[in-house]
């Protein structure tokens, strides 16, 4: 993967707000809904999501800036740890053993390993001793850990994602509907092969969910802000609203205010046993540039109400 700063078009000194703004602009421009028939655009969208997944996380960004992880979020170099599947070498050191004796142990992420066990594995197997006989038994393969990022829609509605394994295999992974950020998917028997006829390990995929340009998740519900014109707010009427499954018509009641919330039932997250709702908050929005017709109207208009009366 390319440098995430280059992907988002920001400098390494960019603030969190600048990174978020750049992501939103690019995500909106390259969103799959706008380029359904363009695989390159979909790939570009995924690249943008992955870049923000790293730079949008303060801890991961700091690790990347220090050179501890690469652009894919994976550890770099031996100092970051040998990673044979589920666990990797983190550090070694002396620990307090039975009777107060100091023992040297390695931490492989799944608990300490005694130095004697490691040496016993080597010399016991060479000498055909008890340790060697134990290792002649079938051994379960190591678990393999991967990370991937899915779009907001994939996490809410479900889908499939192709992942590449360290051994070169490619797997189609089912993304369950209602998946949450940081959730782990376990595929049993898809990890490293076992030894001497032992079972294979599992594949553990930690899934990140990319932010959406205008949707936010609230449990199984989704929330969004919908800009409306002054005319639509005053007179009411039907307006087009984006949802996870396409555009729908929403009826705006007459005399609506900014902050009014309308509900679209069943347009939220597809959770097991139920489907959430989409809550739309109206924002009365004026044009970005001067509108002479609107200005002419407001000069003639004599409001008969005081919007700040409750503040007195």
Per the domain annotation, does 80 fall within a domain? no
Q: Is the pTM of this model over 0.75?
A: no
Higher pLDDT, 99 or 274: 274
Say if residue 186's pLDDT is above 50. yes
For 62-117, how does the pLDDT look when each residue is reduced to its tens digit (9 = 90+)?
Answer: 999 999 888 887 887 644 444 444 344 444 444 545 444 444 444 444 444 444 45
What is the count of structural domains for the chain?
4
What pLDDT does residue 292 have?
Answer: 93
Q: Residue 286 and residue 301: Cα distance in Å, rounded?
A: 16
What pLDDT does residue 40 have?
Answer: 78
What percent of the chain has pLDDT above 70? 79
Higher pLDDT, 183 or 74: 183
Per the domain annotation, does 310 fall within a domain? no
Say if residue 213's pLDDT is above 70. yes
- Range(s) of the domain holding residue 173: 142-210
What pLDDT does residue 249 have?
Answer: 96
Strand order in the sheet with 261-264: 216-218, 221-228, 278-284, 261-264
How far is C-alpha 204 from the geometric centre of its chain's CA atoms? Answer: 15
Per the domain annotation, does 146 fall within a domain? yes
Strands 270-271 and 112-114 come out as unpaired
Q: What is the average pLDDT across 219-247? A: 95
Residues 64 and 98 in one domain: no
User: Which of 219, 210, 232, 221 lies closest to 280 in space, CA to CA?
Assistant: 221
Task: Give yes or no for a contact between 50 and 75, defined as CB atoms under 8 angstroms apart.
Answer: no
Q: Residue 117 and residue 135: Cα distance in Å, rounded?
A: 12
Per the domain annotation, does 312 fall within a domain? no
Give me the CATH number covering residue 294: 2.60.260.20
Contacts of 173 (CB under 8 A, 6+ apart): 148, 160, 161, 162, 163, 185, 187, 205
Per the domain annotation, does 79 fall within a domain? no
What pLDDT does residue 72 have?
Answer: 82
Task: Give yes or no for a contact between 20 and 80, defined as CB atoms under 8 angstroms apart.
Answer: no
Alpha helices in the chain (DSSP H): 4-8, 16-29, 39-55, 58-65, 115-127, 130-135, 152-157, 230-235, 292-300
Residues 301 and 240 in one domain: yes
Give the total residue count for the chain: 312
Q: Residue 24 and residue 56: Cα distance in Å, rounded?
A: 12
Q: What is the DSSP string of 272-296?
A: TTEE--EEEEEEE---SS--HHHHH
The backbone torsions φ and ψ at residue 65, rounded to the nearest 5 degrees and listed phi first, read: -65, -30
What pLDDT does residue 36 have?
Answer: 63
Per the domain annotation, does 81 fall within a domain? no
For 146-161, how does the pLDDT look when each residue is reduced to its tens digit (9 = 90+)?
Answer: 999 999 999 999 999 8
Say if residue 209's pLDDT is above 60. yes
For 3-49, how does the pLDDT look when each residue is reduced to its tens digit (9 = 90+)?
Answer: 999 999 999 999 999 999 998 888 888 877 676 667 777 788 888 88
Per the domain annotation, does 243 fall within a domain? yes
Task: Give yes or no for a contact between 212 and 230, defined as CB atoms under 8 angstroms apart.
Answer: no
Task: Give yes or no for a contact between 303 and 288, defined as CB atoms under 8 angstroms apart.
Answer: no
Average pLDDT, the chain: 83
Which tokens sit at 59? 């801890």
Of 210, 228, 262, which residue sits at a domain end?
210
Residues 10 and 67 in one domain: yes
Q: Residue 25 and residue 15: Cα distance in Å, rounded?
A: 16
- Angle of CA points 42, 68, 190, to nearest 5°: 55
């Amino acid at each position: 993967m390319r440098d995430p700063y280059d992907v988002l078009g920001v400098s390494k000194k960019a603030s969190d707000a600048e990174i978020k703004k750049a992501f939103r602009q690019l995500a909106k421009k390259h969103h799959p809904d706008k380029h359904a028939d363009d695989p390159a655009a979909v790939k570009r969208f995924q690249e943008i999501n992955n870049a923000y997944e790293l730079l949008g996380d303060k801890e991961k960004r700091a690790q990347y800036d220090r050179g501890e992880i690469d652009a894919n979020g994976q550890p770099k170099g031996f100092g970051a740890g040998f990673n044979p599947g589920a666990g990797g070498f983190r550090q070694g050191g002396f620990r307090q053993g039975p009777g107060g004796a100091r023992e040297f142990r390695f931490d492989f992420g799944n608990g300490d390993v005694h130095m004697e066990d490691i040496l016993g594995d080597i010399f016991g197997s060479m000498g055909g001793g008890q340790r060697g006989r134990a290792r002649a038994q079938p051994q379960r393969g190591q678990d393999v850990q991967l990370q991937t990022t899915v779009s907001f829609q994939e996490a809410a509605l479900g889908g499939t994602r192709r992942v590449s394994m360290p051994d070169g295999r490619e797997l189609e992974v089912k993304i369950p509907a209602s998946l949450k950020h940081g959730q782990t998917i376990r595929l049993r028997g898809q990890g490293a092969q076992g030894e001497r006829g032992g079972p294979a390990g599992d594949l553990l995929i930690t899934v990140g969910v990319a932010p959406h340009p205008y949707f936010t998740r609230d449990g199984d519900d989704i929330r969004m802000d919908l800009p409306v014109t002054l005319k639509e707010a005053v007179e009411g009427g039907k307006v087009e609203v984006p949802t996870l499954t396409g555009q729908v018509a929403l009826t705006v009641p007459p005399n609506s205010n900014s902050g009014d919330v309308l509900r679209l039932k069943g347009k939220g997250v597809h959770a097991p046993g139920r489907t959430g709702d989409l809550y739309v908050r109206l924002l009365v929005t004026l044009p970005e540039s001067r509108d002479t017709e609107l200005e002419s109207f407001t000069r003639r208009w004599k409001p008969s109400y005081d919007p700040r009366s409750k503040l007195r």
